[in-house]
Every structure is written in structure tokens, then in C-alpha cells.
């Protein structure tokens, strides 16, 4: 049986001309995380393949998913008066997310350090990131439960995350530049901090009403969906328009 060709000759020629080009203007990333990653990557042996770093980081997000799914497969643990997920699970999840985030920041630097940077490595990296983008919000759903965040609204949040991820790559495809969103760094630290707080104070704190009877789940939805609609999507569409239609550098 003949194999299916997923890439045409035009795609393969594009790989030969491809060059990674990204812009990162996040203060947290530029002034804190990148200097940290530049120093940490020097501790890694040069024989360690960047794709292995990428894959280990991805597996940590899978471990989190399986661990929380084991204790809360139907997102109802938070609906009980006392959440049935052990407190240590949240600490493990927080540590794994931080490890994933830092490994994701170091794999590209390891590739450039070892002279193995290329389009297939980026495809592998961003391909796995697309899965993690769906897994990580699921951890948050277990904090709120289906009473505060029904499945249809969970689904809306997931689609918002996927849309942000997808449109960023549409922007890269059309402009040739990967504009790294500020929200990524803030989200990784925010989710990890939330998990650590949950370990210390318990998940019941996320059921408090702040004002106007809005729950923490409502705030979670508002921040994720609102930030995409207000700060991400318009800028992406503007950059694509300026580059493709107007022919102006962005």
C-alpha cells in the first residue's frame, strides 16, 4: 500500500527556504525569563537533542491531565462541600507546568546552541504546544466544577484558547514573523501560582463571590475570552492586513 503524502513538493521547497523569525516584547520574557533560560541551557549536555527537551515538557502536561482526570474525571469534585482531589495533586501540577514552561523556553536555545535548529524542530515544538494549549485549561476546570463552569462554557473557553493559538500561527504564515503573545508568560505563571494557592488554602476559595455575585469561574472566563477578543485578535488581523494588503512592514 502506497503511503499518503502529507507534504507537497511546494511544501518541501518551503522548508528549504524557511527561517525562524520571532518577536517577543513581553517584559517578563525579555528581562527575566530569557536571561534565565540562556544560563540554564548551558547546564544541558550538547548531546541532548532539543526535541527530547520538547517532548519531556509535553509529557509533563500529559501527566497533569491524567493525574487530575483520575481524581476528577467528570469535573464534579469541586461541586462537593469538600473537594475530593488531594492537595498534593495541585502542587505536582504547578511544578509540572513550570517545568514545561521553562523547557519550552529552552528547547529552541538548545537547538541554536547545538546547530540543530530547523523547521521540523519548530513544527514538532509547536505541534505539541497545540495539544498542551488544550490540556492546561482543563486543570483549571477542576478548580471550579460544573456548578460554576458548565460544560458548554468550558467548551467556549477551550475554543478561545485554540483560536488564539491558531490565529498566531496564521499571522506567522502570512507575515513570516511569529509575534509571541504577552499572555503566554503571564498565563503560565498565573496557572502555576493558582495551583500553589490551591494547595495551601484549598480549592473552596475559588467559589467565593467577589462582587455583583460574580464567581471566580466568571472572572476566569472574562480574562481568557476578553483578552483574546480585545488584545490579541484585532492586532493579529491588523498585522496580516498591513503585510498582505498594504505591503507595509509591521
Collapsing DSSP to helix, strand or coil, 247 comes out as coil
Cβ count within 10 A of residue 100 = 27
Write the DSSP symbol of residue 4.
P
| Region of poorest pLDDT, from 1-10, 69-78, 171-180, 216-225 | 1-10
Rounded to the nearest angstrom, the gap between the alpha carbon of residue 62 and the centroid of all alpha carbons in its chain is 13
Phi, psi (degrees; rounded to nearest 5) at 248: -105, 140
CB proximity list for 133: less than 8 A, separation 6 or greater: 161, 162, 165
* Mean pLDDT calculated for residue range 26-32: 88
Residue 1, pLDDT score: 45
Residue with cell 471566580: 216
Collapsing DSSP to helix, strand or coil, 182 comes out as helix
Instruction: Give residue-wise pLDDT tens across range 117-151.
Output: 877 888 888 889 988 988 888 888 898 888 888 98
To the nearest whole number, what is the mean pLDDT of the chain?
Answer: 85
Catalytic residue numbers, as ranges? 126
What is d(CA 172, CA 180) in angstroms, rounded to the nearest whole number? 10
**Crossing angle between the packed helical segments 151-175 and 216-227, to the nearest 10 degrees:** 20
Collapsing DSSP to helix, strand or coil, 115 comes out as coil
What is d(CA 202, CA 94) in angstroms, rounded to the nearest whole number? 14
Phi, psi (degrees; rounded to nearest 5) at 20: -70, 130
What is d(CA 164, CA 228) in angstroms, rounded to the nearest whole number? 6
Instruction: Give residue-wise pLDDT tens across range 51-102.
Output: 999 999 999 999 999 999 999 999 998 888 788 889 999 999 999 999 999 9
Cβ count within 10 A of residue 249 = 8
Residue with cell 517532548: 55
Domain 27-246 -> CATH class = mainly alpha
CA distances from 76 to 73, 129, 155, 213, 235 (A): 8, 27, 16, 21, 37
Residue with the larger pLDDT of the pair 151 and 243:
151
Is residue 17's pLDDT more than 70?
Answer: no
CA distances from 125 to 34, 97, 189, 233 (A): 17, 16, 20, 23
Instruction: Give residue-wise pLDDT tens across range 169-193.
Output: 888 877 878 887 777 888 889 889 9
The predicted model scores a pTM of 0.86
| Region of poorest pLDDT, from 103-107, 184-188, 246-250 | 246-250
Amino acid at each position: 500500500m502506497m503511503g499518503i503524502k502529507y507534504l507537497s513538493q511546494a511544501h518541501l521547497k518551503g522548508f528549504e527556504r524557511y527561517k525562524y523569525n520571532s518577536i517577543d516584547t513581553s517584559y517578563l520574557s525579555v528581562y527575566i525569563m530569557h536571561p534565565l533560560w540562556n544560563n540554564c541551557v548551558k547546564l544541558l549536555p550538547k548531546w541532548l537533542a532539543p526535541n527530547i527537551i520538547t517532548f519531556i515538557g509535553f509529557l509533563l502536561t500529559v501527566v497533569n491531565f491524567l493525574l487530575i482526570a483520575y481524581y476528577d474525571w467528570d469535573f464534579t469534585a469541586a461541586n462537593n462541600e469538600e473537594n475530593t482531589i488531594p492537595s498534593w495533586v495541585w502542587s505536582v501540577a504547578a511544578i509540572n507546568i513550570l517545568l514545561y514552561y521553562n523547557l519550552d523556553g529552552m528547547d529552541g536555545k538548545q537547538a541554536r546552541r547545538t546547530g540543530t535548529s530547523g523547521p521540523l524542530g519548530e513544527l514538532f515544538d509547536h505541534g505539541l504546544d497545540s495539544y498542551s494549549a488544550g490540556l492546561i485549561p482543563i486543570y483549571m476546570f477542576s478548580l471550579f466544577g460544573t456548578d460554576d463552569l458548565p460544560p458548554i462554557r468550558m467548551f467556549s473557553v477551550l475554543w478561545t484558547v485554540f483560536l488564539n493559538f491558531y490565529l498566531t500561527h496564521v499571522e506567522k504564515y502570512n507575515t513570516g514573523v511569529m509575534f509571541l503573545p504577552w499572555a503566554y508568560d503571564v498565563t503560565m505563571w498565573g496557572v502555576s501560582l493558582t495551583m500553589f494557592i490551591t494547595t495551601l488554602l484549598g480549592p473552596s476559595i475559588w467559589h467565593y463571590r467577589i462582587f455583583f455575585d460574580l464567581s471566580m469561574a466568571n472572572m476566569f472566563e472574562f480574562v481568557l475570552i476578553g483578552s483574546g477578543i480585545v488584545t490579541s485578535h484585532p492586532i493579529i488581523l491588523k498585522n496580516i492586513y498591513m503585510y498582505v494588503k498594504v505591503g507595509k512592514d509591521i
